[in-house]
Amino acid sequence: MKKLFIIATWKSHKTTPEAIVWLQEIANKKWQNIGNKELIVCPPFPLLSTVKAFMTEKKLPFKIGAQDISPFDEGPYTGAVNGKQIKEFADYVIIGHSERRTHFNEDEETLELKVQMALKAGLTPIYCVQGKNTPVPKGVTLVAYEPVSAIGNDHPDNPADAETVAAKIKEKHKIPFVLYGGSVAAENVTSFTHMADIDGVLVSTHSLDPKSFIKIVDNA
Ligand code: PGA
Protein backbone atom coordinates (compact mmCIF):
# COMPACT_ATOMS: atom_id res chain seq x y z
CA MET A 1 0.00 0.00 0.00
CA LYS A 2 1.51 3.35 -0.99
CA LYS A 3 2.18 6.06 1.55
CA LEU A 4 -0.43 8.86 1.45
CA PHE A 5 0.25 12.41 2.61
CA ILE A 6 -2.88 14.26 3.74
CA ILE A 7 -1.96 17.87 4.43
CA ALA A 8 -4.16 20.61 5.89
CA THR A 9 -2.98 24.18 5.35
CA TRP A 10 -4.88 26.96 7.04
CA LYS A 11 -3.29 29.75 5.00
CA SER A 12 -3.96 33.09 6.76
CA HIS A 13 -6.90 31.76 8.79
CA LYS A 14 -7.59 31.14 12.50
CA THR A 15 -6.79 32.81 15.79
CA THR A 16 -5.63 30.81 18.84
CA PRO A 17 -9.18 30.16 20.16
CA GLU A 18 -10.30 29.08 16.69
CA ALA A 19 -7.31 26.74 16.39
CA ILE A 20 -8.19 25.19 19.75
CA VAL A 21 -11.74 24.48 18.58
CA TRP A 22 -10.27 22.69 15.52
CA LEU A 23 -7.80 20.74 17.64
CA GLN A 24 -10.42 19.65 20.16
CA GLU A 25 -12.61 18.28 17.38
CA ILE A 26 -9.61 16.40 15.97
CA ALA A 27 -8.80 15.03 19.44
CA ASN A 28 -12.34 13.63 19.77
CA LYS A 29 -11.66 11.12 17.04
CA LYS A 30 -9.92 7.78 17.55
CA TRP A 31 -6.86 7.83 15.29
CA GLN A 32 -5.50 4.27 15.70
CA ASN A 33 -6.12 3.17 12.13
CA ILE A 34 -4.36 5.73 10.01
CA GLY A 35 -2.15 2.98 8.52
CA ASN A 36 -0.21 4.34 5.57
CA LYS A 37 -1.36 7.96 6.02
CA GLU A 38 1.04 10.76 7.00
CA LEU A 39 -1.17 13.48 8.49
CA ILE A 40 0.23 17.01 8.50
CA VAL A 41 -1.26 20.33 9.57
CA CYS A 42 0.27 23.65 8.51
CA PRO A 43 -0.95 26.52 10.70
CA PRO A 44 0.20 30.15 10.47
CA PHE A 45 3.43 30.92 12.38
CA PRO A 46 1.82 32.32 15.56
CA LEU A 47 -0.12 29.06 16.04
CA LEU A 48 2.75 26.59 15.54
CA SER A 49 3.56 26.42 19.23
CA THR A 50 -0.07 25.92 20.32
CA VAL A 51 -0.68 23.23 17.71
CA LYS A 52 2.57 21.42 18.52
CA ALA A 53 1.87 21.46 22.28
CA PHE A 54 -1.67 20.15 21.75
CA MET A 55 -0.62 17.32 19.40
CA THR A 56 2.12 16.25 21.82
CA GLU A 57 -0.07 16.37 24.90
CA LYS A 58 -2.92 14.41 23.30
CA LYS A 59 -0.52 12.06 21.46
CA LEU A 60 -2.24 12.71 18.13
CA PRO A 61 -0.58 11.25 15.02
CA PHE A 62 -0.18 14.59 13.26
CA LYS A 63 3.05 16.11 11.99
CA ILE A 64 3.34 19.86 11.75
CA GLY A 65 4.36 22.04 8.84
CA ALA A 66 5.05 25.76 8.46
CA GLN A 67 3.71 27.72 5.50
CA ASP A 68 6.87 29.69 4.78
CA ILE A 69 10.55 29.95 5.69
CA SER A 70 13.15 32.70 5.50
CA PRO A 71 15.58 32.43 2.59
CA PHE A 72 18.24 33.54 5.10
CA ASP A 73 19.86 32.03 8.16
CA GLU A 74 19.38 33.62 11.57
CA GLY A 75 20.45 37.26 11.63
CA PRO A 76 19.29 40.83 11.01
CA TYR A 77 16.26 40.03 8.81
CA THR A 78 13.27 41.83 10.33
CA GLY A 79 10.11 39.77 10.30
CA ALA A 80 11.74 36.64 8.87
CA VAL A 81 11.31 33.23 10.51
CA ASN A 82 14.31 30.98 9.93
CA GLY A 83 14.66 27.23 9.56
CA LYS A 84 16.08 26.62 13.03
CA GLN A 85 13.13 28.47 14.60
CA ILE A 86 10.63 26.47 12.54
CA LYS A 87 12.31 23.16 13.34
CA GLU A 88 11.47 23.68 17.04
CA PHE A 89 7.83 23.01 16.11
CA ALA A 90 7.64 21.50 12.64
CA ASP A 91 9.01 18.79 10.35
CA TYR A 92 7.70 20.18 7.06
CA VAL A 93 7.50 23.54 5.33
CA ILE A 94 5.47 24.64 2.30
CA ILE A 95 7.60 26.42 -0.31
CA GLY A 96 6.67 27.77 -3.74
CA HIS A 97 2.92 28.10 -3.27
CA SER A 98 1.35 30.10 -6.10
CA GLU A 99 0.05 32.68 -3.59
CA ARG A 100 3.61 33.33 -2.39
CA ARG A 101 4.81 33.61 -5.97
CA THR A 102 2.00 36.02 -6.92
CA HIS A 103 1.38 38.17 -3.83
CA PHE A 104 4.91 38.17 -2.41
CA ASN A 105 6.84 38.14 -5.70
CA GLU A 106 8.85 35.06 -4.80
CA ASP A 107 11.04 34.06 -7.73
CA GLU A 108 12.87 30.82 -8.50
CA GLU A 109 16.10 32.11 -6.94
CA THR A 110 14.38 32.93 -3.63
CA LEU A 111 12.55 29.61 -3.64
CA GLU A 112 15.79 27.74 -4.17
CA LEU A 113 17.33 29.53 -1.17
CA LYS A 114 14.28 28.63 0.90
CA VAL A 115 14.64 24.97 -0.04
CA GLN A 116 18.33 25.06 0.93
CA MET A 117 17.47 26.63 4.29
CA ALA A 118 14.74 24.06 4.93
CA LEU A 119 17.04 21.14 4.17
CA LYS A 120 19.80 22.63 6.30
CA ALA A 121 17.40 22.83 9.24
CA GLY A 122 16.21 19.24 8.74
CA LEU A 123 12.78 20.25 7.41
CA THR A 124 11.12 18.50 4.48
CA PRO A 125 9.96 21.00 1.86
CA ILE A 126 6.46 20.52 0.46
CA TYR A 127 7.36 22.14 -2.83
CA CYS A 128 4.41 23.52 -4.80
CA VAL A 129 4.50 23.61 -8.58
CA GLN A 130 1.87 25.00 -10.88
CA GLY A 131 2.56 22.76 -13.86
CA LYS A 132 4.86 20.10 -15.21
CA ASN A 133 7.33 22.73 -16.41
CA THR A 134 7.72 24.57 -13.08
CA PRO A 135 11.37 24.17 -12.00
CA VAL A 136 12.02 22.05 -8.90
CA PRO A 137 15.12 22.84 -6.80
CA LYS A 138 17.66 20.13 -5.94
CA GLY A 139 16.98 18.13 -2.80
CA VAL A 140 13.17 18.28 -3.03
CA THR A 141 11.49 14.90 -2.51
CA LEU A 142 7.86 15.96 -1.99
CA VAL A 143 6.07 18.04 -4.61
CA ALA A 144 2.49 19.31 -4.61
CA TYR A 145 1.03 19.88 -8.06
CA GLU A 146 -1.46 22.72 -7.73
CA PRO A 147 -2.96 24.16 -10.91
CA VAL A 148 -3.82 27.81 -10.10
CA SER A 149 -7.21 27.51 -11.83
CA ALA A 150 -8.27 24.82 -9.30
CA ILE A 151 -7.37 26.61 -6.05
CA GLY A 152 -10.08 27.70 -3.65
CA ASN A 153 -13.05 27.51 -6.00
CA ASP A 154 -14.53 24.01 -5.76
CA HIS A 155 -13.46 23.34 -9.35
CA PRO A 156 -10.79 20.67 -8.93
CA ASP A 157 -8.61 19.54 -11.79
CA ASN A 158 -9.63 16.48 -13.74
CA PRO A 159 -8.02 13.56 -11.81
CA ALA A 160 -6.76 11.90 -15.00
CA ASP A 161 -5.04 15.15 -16.05
CA ALA A 162 -3.55 15.57 -12.55
CA GLU A 163 -2.27 11.98 -12.74
CA THR A 164 -0.57 12.65 -16.08
CA VAL A 165 1.18 15.74 -14.69
CA ALA A 166 2.17 13.92 -11.47
CA ALA A 167 3.74 11.09 -13.49
CA LYS A 168 5.66 13.59 -15.64
CA ILE A 169 6.98 15.45 -12.58
CA LYS A 170 8.17 12.19 -11.03
CA GLU A 171 9.91 11.14 -14.20
CA LYS A 172 11.48 14.51 -15.02
CA HIS A 173 12.75 15.42 -11.54
CA LYS A 174 13.11 11.94 -10.00
CA ILE A 175 10.68 12.92 -7.24
CA PRO A 176 9.34 10.01 -5.14
CA PHE A 177 6.17 11.72 -3.92
CA VAL A 178 3.81 14.00 -5.83
CA LEU A 179 0.60 15.28 -4.25
CA TYR A 180 -2.37 17.03 -5.81
CA GLY A 181 -3.85 20.26 -4.43
CA GLY A 182 -6.78 22.43 -5.55
CA SER A 183 -10.39 22.22 -4.31
CA VAL A 184 -9.92 18.83 -2.67
CA ALA A 185 -12.97 17.85 -0.61
CA ALA A 186 -14.36 14.70 1.03
CA GLU A 187 -16.42 13.96 -2.10
CA ASN A 188 -13.53 14.06 -4.57
CA VAL A 189 -10.45 13.05 -2.56
CA THR A 190 -10.41 9.38 -3.64
CA SER A 191 -10.60 10.30 -7.32
CA PHE A 192 -7.10 11.73 -6.77
CA THR A 193 -5.62 9.42 -4.13
CA HIS A 194 -6.61 6.30 -6.12
CA MET A 195 -4.39 7.45 -8.98
CA ALA A 196 -1.15 5.46 -9.15
CA ASP A 197 1.16 8.49 -9.24
CA ILE A 198 -0.68 10.77 -6.79
CA ASP A 199 0.65 10.24 -3.27
CA GLY A 200 -1.72 12.45 -1.34
CA VAL A 201 -3.42 15.83 -1.21
CA LEU A 202 -2.80 19.38 -0.01
CA VAL A 203 -6.05 20.86 1.24
CA SER A 204 -6.89 24.35 2.39
CA THR A 205 -10.56 25.48 2.17
CA HIS A 206 -11.98 22.10 3.20
CA SER A 207 -9.42 21.64 5.96
CA LEU A 208 -10.57 24.69 7.91
CA ASP A 209 -13.61 22.89 9.27
CA PRO A 210 -12.26 19.94 11.29
CA LYS A 211 -15.26 17.74 10.46
CA SER A 212 -14.74 18.13 6.74
CA PHE A 213 -11.00 17.52 7.13
CA ILE A 214 -11.68 14.33 9.13
CA LYS A 215 -13.96 13.13 6.30
CA ILE A 216 -11.20 13.79 3.79
CA VAL A 217 -8.74 11.74 5.88
CA ASP A 218 -11.27 8.90 6.30
CA ASN A 219 -12.16 8.79 2.61
CA ALA A 220 -8.61 9.14 1.22
P1 PGA B 1 -7.88 24.84 -1.68
O2 PGA B 1 -6.35 25.33 -1.65
O3 PGA B 1 -7.95 23.51 -1.00
O4 PGA B 1 -8.61 25.92 -0.95
O5 PGA B 1 -8.26 24.77 -3.12
C6 PGA B 1 -5.34 24.43 -1.92
C7 PGA B 1 -4.01 25.11 -1.85
O8 PGA B 1 -3.90 26.30 -2.22
O9 PGA B 1 -3.04 24.48 -1.43
> Which of the residues in the chain have pLDDT under 70?
none
Q: For 80, which DSSP code?
A: -
Distance CA(177)–CA(206), nearest Å, equals 22
Distance 100 CA to ligand 1 centre (A): 13
Q: Which of 9, 98, 130 to mutate to test the pocket of ligand 1 (most atoms within 8 A of CB)?
A: 9
| Residues recognised as catalytic | 97, 146
Report if pTM > 0.95: yes
Residues pairing with 6 in the sheet: 39, 201
The secondary structure element, H or E, covering residue 66 is: strand 62-66
pLDDT at 32: 80
Closest-CA residue to 185 (of 198, 202, 160): 202
Ligand 1 atom nearest to CA at 9 = 9
pLDDT at 1: 84
Ligand 1 atom nearest to CA at 94 = 9
Q: Which burial class, exposed, middle or buried, applies to 88 when counting CB atoms under 10 A from its CB (0-12, 13-18, 19+)? A: exposed
pLDDT at 135: 97
pLDDT at 132: 95
Q: Is 183 in the pocket of ligand 1 (CB under 6 A)?
A: yes
Question: How many Cβ atoms are within 10 Å of 76's Cβ, its own excluded?
Answer: 6
63, 48 in Cβ contact below 8 A?
no
Distance CA(123)–CA(128), nearest Å, equals 15
Distance 97 CA to ligand 1 centre (A): 10
Distance 102 CA to ligand 1 centre (A): 15
Look at residue 217 and give its three-state secondary structure.
helix
